[in-house]
């Protein structure tokens, strides 16, 4: 009877060893419980105290896509705002409205302004009602008075002031005539001649002014 008891003791030890085997679902593995800290092995997420695969990756992808979309939208918006801002500055640059330009703090039209013809500071010479700014260019002007007693052809008179004789360009004539030199100085003409620019070349009484470009 004592021998049977001793044989039974080893059997109990063997059963005890078999019952101490590790659990079939290790903590932190897929489908198993999370750790006490709520953690799982890499690539798994703890959901309802169970480690599940694929949640973290899907969540990460979703967040990444959302962030990317937001960034793209923000960039597009920023570009649009910058473009609109540039256009606004460009359209409101300066106090004048085209075709006017600013000269010495004032808005002038360079197409018609006699003092700023074509550009700021370019003044047209106007004497005897001749000369003006038209379409941004100065029309022909009259030269200084020439004593007809010692005539100089108009092409030479204009060349002396670095200009060109304009045939029939002033009041319909190539040069304007005056009875006396005093009348010429006072712009009190007695006639207009449409001769060629090589005239006058014959001495006469009075004075004249040639029609020259400017």
Least Cα distance to 197 among 187, 205, 170 occurs for 170
HSE, side-chain direction, 13 A CA sphere, residue 131: 17
How would residue 71 be classed by pLDDT, with cut points 50, 70 and 90? very low
HSE, side-chain direction, 13 A CA sphere, residue 192: 14
Instruction: Tell me if 190 sits within 8 A of 128, measured CB to CB.
Output: no
The alpha carbon of 198 is separated from its chain's Cα centroid by a whole number of angstroms, namely: 52
User: What percent of the chain has pLDDT above 70?
Assistant: 69
How would residue 24 be classed by pLDDT, with cut points 50, 70 and 90? low
Say which residue, 29 or 142, is predicted with more confidence. 142
Least Cα distance to 191 among 161, 170, 212 occurs for 170
pLDDT for residue 14 = 38
How would residue 105 be classed by pLDDT, with cut points 50, 70 and 90? very high
Q: State the average pLDDT for the chain.
A: 77
How would residue 64 be classed by pLDDT, with cut points 50, 70 and 90? very low
| pTM for this predicted structure | 0.55
**Rounded mean pLDDT of 101-112?**
96
Say which residue, 85 or 126, is predicted with more confidence. 126
**Tokens, residue 133:** 């700014």
């Amino acid at each position: 009877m004592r021998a049977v008891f001793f044989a039974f003791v080893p059997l109990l030890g063997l059963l005890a060893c078999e019952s101490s085997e590790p659990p079939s679902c290790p903590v932190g593995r897929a489908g198993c419980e999370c750790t006490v800290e709520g953690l799982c092995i890499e690539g798994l997420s703890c959901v309802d105290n169970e480690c599940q695969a694929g949640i973290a990756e899907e969540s990460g992808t979703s967040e990444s896509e959302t962030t990317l979309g937001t960034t793209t939208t923000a960039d597009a918006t920023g570009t649009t705002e910058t473009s609109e801002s540039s256009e606004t500055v460009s359209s409101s640059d300066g106090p004048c409205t085209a075709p006017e330009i600013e000269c010495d703090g004032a808005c002038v039209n360079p197409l018609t302004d006699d003092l700023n013809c074509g550009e700021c500071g370019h003044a047209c010479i106007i004497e005897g009602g001749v000369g003006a700014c038209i379409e941004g260019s100065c029309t022909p002007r009259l030269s200084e008075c020439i004593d007809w007693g010692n005539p100089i052809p108009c092409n030479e008179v204009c060349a002396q002031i670095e200009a060109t004789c304009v045939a029939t360009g002033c009041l319909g004539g190539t040069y304007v005539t005056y009875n006396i030199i005093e009348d010429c100085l006072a712009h009190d003409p007695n006639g207009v001649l449409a001769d060629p620019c090589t005239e006058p070349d014959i001495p006469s009484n009075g004075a004249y002014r040639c029609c020259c470009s400017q």
